Structure 1
Amino acid sequence: MRQEIEASSCLDIVSFAEAYGMPELLEEANDFILRNFWEVSSTAKFQDLPAEKLLDFLRCDGLCVPSELAVFRAVISWIEADPEERLGQAGLLMAAVRFPLMTFREFREVRAINLRMECFGNKEVELYGSALKEFGFSLPKTEDHCRVRRPKDALVLVGGDQLNPDMGQRIPSRELWFANSLRSGTGLVKQIEWRRLGEMPDKPKFRHGVAAMDGRLYVFGGCYFYTKDDMMKSVYSYDPVQDSWKRLADMQEFRSNFSVVAHEGCFYAIGGDKKLNTNVDSVEKYNPNTDSWSFVQPLDQALSGYAVSVVDGGIFISGGFNCKYVCLVSMFLYHPERGTTYLADMAHDRAQHCMDALRGHLYVTGGVCNLRKFYTDQQACEVYNPVTDSWTAFASLPVPHVGAASAVLEEKIYILGGYCQDDYSESGLVHRFDPSTQRWENMGRLPGAVTDIRACLLRLPHHQT
């Protein structure tokens, strides 16, 4: 029955486990409901949930929802399923909705829904007044009054390095961390709870390549320190179910300051540095089925510090350093057999930046740009539309993020760590961009290494989260 737990069946499994005294199954089914509450609330079975059971879920800190507005909407849908019987219980259920966690924009919807509910029968509905009091004047009972969301996919950080303030030396990292939960608190305070996942085998890594495929994490090449002979071509895979690492076939080139992209069941290691201040144009393909590497069509110029992402089956590459280490404005489509097709240039030159695919568009953020014979921080951001081959500006980063990691989680873009080029300070901050609000949010600090880290999404087993 554990294998049958899904949004449409989990409430029936809860009832079964309660009826037959199966506490472990009950705990797992209840946990599934909390983690997937928004999907469960849209099922027909949710409308038959007893008020007492619904209240238990609403009061739980671990209720996973995209925002507190989703909790409010779920309660409204439950009431609207039988308004004559359920309006009398609305006040008690609404008291479990944590209105102080809403934004003002979200709270306007509370008012609109409340007005619509007043049309049900002749019963008086005074939810808005009590909600307004909660939203504007209530204080949390404890400092931990919040919602804790545990996303289905874990945001995993791999390697990187940081400055040891006591020793004045840089410390490369072997560590892996993952975002176990996202916490939303009163006053729009948001924070990520990080947990340590383990360590990579062999040497520490930064400026390496990371990708995920078929539930496994793959780590490629990179540097273990800063001299010309400290680059690697080793490859490892991590199985989160077995919590084990496996050494795979080495790449054919030493590579650092590069990226690896998963495409049509294979991995592609693209360009990068093969020794200090020497870019390469080669691209090699890894086949997981045969554990082997082969060279494919090279880039039309040597390139490192670029950003790469896949949209609609196409491999897009933006910016980066050319062979003279000048930051580029280029954007091109790369094909392993046909090579490079240039597209519209970005508005701003950049390297050591991030690019993430979201809703069919490519969001480019951060990095450095040219400043005469030097570099400076590039905080301007822009988004590419592959259909129109055009760029549009969006909200600039609140702080510099050079050599940062990035990922898309639950339709939001996360920029993680990096440093400031102008003074080489390391903030270790995490910022999140929401395309629906066009705003950046501060999500707290990283737990370990902060520069030249890599990130990806990975589904972790239940016992690790």
Structure 2
Amino acid sequence: KLKYNKITEEYNKLSTQQHSAKLFCCDFTYYISDNSNNFDLMMEVHQFNVKSLEQTCFDVLKDHLCTENCIGLWQFTKVWYIPILFQLKYEAFHFICENFEEVSLCVEFLQLEEQELADILGQDGLTVTQESTVYQSVLRWINHMPEERQGAISTLLPKVRLGLMDKSYITDNVLNNDVVKTNPESHLLVSDTLKVMSQPSLLCSESGINNTLFCHRLPNAVLLMFRFFSKTIEAFDYRTNSWITVHTHPSLEDSMTHLFFYSTVFLGRCFYIVGSGLRMSDPSNKVWRFNLVTHTWQEMSPMQESRYLMSVTVLKGCIYAMGGFRDDDGTSRRTAERYQPNINQWTFIASMNEERIRASCTTLNNKIYICGGWSNYRVLNTAEYYNPDTNQWTLITPMGTPRYRLGVVAYMGHIFAVGGSDGSRDLRSAEAYDPVTNTWYDVPEMVHRHSYFDIAVMNKKIFVVSCSTRNRIVECYDYTTNTWSVVFSGMDYNDCVRCCVISGLPNMAEYCSPHKPIIPRTQV
């Protein structure tokens, strides 16, 4: 509805000489409500040269991107050479790859051209739980028009990472498949893959076998960790459960070496450091941005107020900073502000109902939820949400346990509050909030107690990272099993950490484990 209102605003600004554009507004609003695939309307508004209306329509298309229409939108953006559609083309293609398992079951998937499907399947960043899913999608696409598409198996099968499948699956489901058997080129490819599985040394020989068949695909996202004291940036690859050092202290700006107790967010290919301080009486309003593509630092416009140990999050392309320590008397704040990267400017929003430091926040359903924290020498169990459309904060049912230094994330449509301290000890407990019923319920306890940890959602799991007690520990929660498990543990020196999840970068390989062939499994 808000998008319709925005289109109506642009409609009312148009002059009578732009009657055709006015008609477009009505047609475009009907298109959104009808959810059809008539993307030609975007071409019409471009011809009217009404930039504000064009941007609004772009935003609407992007917001309505889903598994059922992403392929049609991607195909549409490839046809028209409109500058504003270049980013939409990237967004749609990234959405296809990141949600491939669901997209491959939709009707639009069966309408792809052969080369379009090959381009998708060949992406290192294609997100699939099992490589057999990619193979099955190829068969589904071919069987939709078998007489016309059987020959495409020679183009599509090399895009499937056969070497990542079980040998028994290849023998039973690929080698003996009728489409594969009737295509000599594809049958040879499968036979060669099975040979390598039996003799891994062939990968290093001059056999001519495509090593890509045995390479893991890149993860769709990685966990980026910034350490307070060592000033190193490291990335956690969940597919290999390994860490990669990305950036180290010597290359940081000299003026940044004092930063402690800051907050971090990921937005638009950049890693933001917001606020900092060495002690209660020395908070900072400075903001730094690290470009994850160019590996360069840049100081951005400062916040309106100096603060640190505040809570930060991203909502619809803007950064929000809430609470934190004051700069005059060391007490906590309830003020909040918003950063718009397109104009590099911070502005105040409505203040929270509570003063909060060391609280934690997240976003869900176009709202910001902030929970717990410390205020006036007491640990808080209160929680509230911010609605950017009304610029209002609303208190919700308090948590069952007072917590500060906790982790809060949106997960499976609920708000999870994990760990933290009740003022006397670190907590293993966790609880979750259902926004529909406005109630909290208990979640299984973590394996460990964590101090100065951070939390994020990645690969449909909650990840908790800490570098305390001379150990680096990563544990995750999986809703399918309703359990926590440790996925990484190793000796390390104590440090405070901040984390965020990064995705969609053109150079994602730099933040992942080395992209090399794995040792084939030889068991049948």
TM beyond 0.5:
yes
The residue identity in structure 1 corresponding to 2:478 is D
For the residues of structure 2 that align with 1:319 and 1:236, how far apart are their CA atoms? 26
Q: Which residue of 1 aligns with 2:502?
A: 458
Conserved 8 A contact 1:327-1:369: yes
Deviation at 1:76, TM superposition (A): 7.3
Match of 1:334 among 382, 386, 395: 386
- Cα-to-partner distance string for 1:25-54 (whole Å, 9 max, x where unaligned): xxx985627775466335336866469967
User: Does residue 472 of structure 2 align to residue 394 of structure 1?
Assistant: no
- Cα-to-partner distance string for 1:256-290 (whole Å, 9 max, x where unaligned): 11121212332211001135852111112212122
Assess, with a 3 A threshold, how the Cα gap between structure 1 residues 192 and 148 changes in structure 2: closer, same or farther: farther
Match of 1:221 among 252, 272, 275: 275
Deviation at 1:205, TM superposition (A): 3.2
Match of 1:431 among 475, 478, 489: 475
- Cα-to-partner distance string for 1:396-425 (whole Å, 9 max, x where unaligned): 011111321111111011000054xxxxx3
For the residues of structure 1 that align with 2:319 and 2:369, how far apart are their CA atoms? 14
Q: Which residue of 2 aligns with 1:406?
A: 455
Match of 1:197 among 247, 256, 267: 247
Assess, with a 3 A threshold, how the Cα gap between structure 1 residues 404 and 12 changes in structure 2: closer, same or farther: same
Q: Which residue of 1 aligns with 2:375?
A: 322
Q: Which residue of 1 aligns with 2:286?
A: 234
- Per the normalisation by structure 1, the TM-score is 0.66
Q: Which segment drifts farther, 37-46 or 295-304?
A: 37-46
Match of 2:218 among 150, 156, 168: 150
The residue identity in structure 2 corresponding to 1:203 is T
User: Does residue 236 of structure 2 align to residue 179 of structure 1?
Assistant: yes
Structure 1: which 5+ residue stretches go unaligned? 17-27, 99-145, 161-171, 184-190, 420-424
Conserved 8 A contact 1:430-1:446: no
Conserved 8 A contact 2:419-2:450: yes
**Counterpart of 1:294 in 2: which secondary structure?**
strand
**Counterpart of 1:309 in 2: which secondary structure?**
strand
1:16-415 alignment to 2 at 5 Å? 32=124, 37=131, 40-44=134-138, 49=153, 57-59=161-163, 63=164, 78=174, 82=178, 150-160=218-228, 172-180=229-237, 182-183=239-240, 191-199=241-249, 200-201=252-253, 202-223=256-277, 225=278, 227-275=279-327, 277-324=330-377, 326-335=378-387, 338-370=391-423, 375-415=424-464
- Per the normalisation by structure 2, the TM-score is 0.60
Deviation at 1:91, TM superposition (A): 11
Deviation at 1:386, TM superposition (A): 0.8
Conserved 8 A contact 1:255-1:271: yes
The residue identity in structure 2 corresponding to 1:286 is Y
Q: Which residue of 1 aligns with 2:149?
A: none
Conserved 8 A contact 1:430-1:443: yes
The residue identity in structure 2 corresponding to 1:208 is Y
Conserved 8 A contact 1:58-1:97: no
For the residues of structure 1 that align with 2:470 and 2:425, how far apart are their CA atoms? 15
The residue identity in structure 2 corresponding to 1:436 is T
Conserved 8 A contact 2:331-2:376: yes
- Cα-to-partner distance string for 1:223-275 (whole Å, 9 max, x where unaligned): 3x3x3444322111222222222111111222111121212332211001135
| Identity score, percent | 19
For the residues of structure 2 that align with 1:403 and 1:294, how far apart are their CA atoms? 29
**Counterpart of 1:182 in 2: which secondary structure?**
coil
**Counterpart of 1:392 in 2: which secondary structure?**
strand
For the residues of structure 2 that align with 1:72 and 1:366, how far apart are their CA atoms? 43
Q: Which residue of 2 aligns with 1:117?
A: none
Greater helix percent: which structure? Answer: 2
Count of aligned pairs = 367
The residue identity in structure 2 corresponding to 1:435 is Y
For the residues of structure 2 that align with 1:270 and 1:254, how far apart are their CA atoms? 11
The residue identity in structure 2 corresponding to 1:293 is W
**Counterpart of 1:377 in 2: which secondary structure?**
coil
Conserved 8 A contact 1:319-1:328: yes
Assess, with a 3 A threshold, how the Cα gap between structure 1 residues 217 and 96 changes in structure 2: closer, same or farther: same
The residue identity in structure 2 corresponding to 1:298 is S
Deviation at 1:292, TM superposition (A): 1.6
Conserved 8 A contact 1:148-1:181: no
Assess, with a 3 A threshold, how the Cα gap between structure 1 residues 253 and 55 changes in structure 2: closer, same or farther: closer
For the residues of structure 2 that align with 1:203 and 1:10, how far apart are their CA atoms? 52
The residue identity in structure 1 corresponding to 2:263 is G
Conserved 8 A contact 2:473-2:488: yes
Deviation at 1:313, TM superposition (A): 0.3
For the residues of structure 2 that align with 1:321 and 1:72, how far apart are their CA atoms? 57
Q: Which residue of 2 aligns with 1:135?
A: none
For the residues of structure 2 that align with 1:343 and 1:96, how far apart are their CA atoms? 59
